[in-house]
Amino acid sequence: MQELELLEEHVSFDGVQYKYRHDSTTLCCPMTFSLFLPDKEKFPNPPLFWWLSGLTCTDDNFTHKAGAQKAAAKLGVAMIMPDTSPRGESIADSKDYDLGQGAGFYLNATQEPWSKNYNMYDYVIKELSTIAHEQLNLIGKEFISGHSMGGHGALIIGLRNPERFQSISAFAPIVNPSQVPWGIKAFGEYLGDDKKDWLAWDALALMKIASGKKIPILIDQGEADNFYEKQLQPDKLVEVAKEKDYPLTLRMQKGHDHSYYTIATFIEEHLEFHLTQLTKKD
Q: Among the options 147, 152, 256, 258, which is catalytic?
A: 258
CA distance 173 to 160: 16
- Kindly list the distances between the CA atom of residue 6 and the CA atoms of 10, 33, 127, in Å, as whole numbers in the listed order: 11, 10, 18
Give the 3-state DSSP-derived string for 68-79, with helices as H, strands as E and coil as C. Answer: CHHHHHHHCCEE
225 is annotated as an active-site residue: yes
Per-residue burial over 231-269, b = 16 or more CB atoms within 10 Å of its CB, e = otherwise: bbbbeebbebbeeeebebebeebeebbbebebbebbbbe
In 91-216, at which residue ranges do the beta strands (DSSP E only) sit?
A: 142-147, 165-171
219 forms bridges with which residues in the sheet?
Answer: 170, 250
Pair 221, 235: CB distance under 8 Å: no
Q: Among the options 148, 167, 169, 178, which is catalytic?
A: 148
Query: What are the start-end ranges of the H helices in the chain?
Result: 59-65, 69-75, 120-122, 129-130, 149-160, 181-191, 203-208, 234-244, 260-281
23 is annotated as an active-site residue: no
Q: Among the options 83, 93, 202, 225, which is catalytic?
A: 225
The residues carrying an active-site annotation are 148, 225, 258
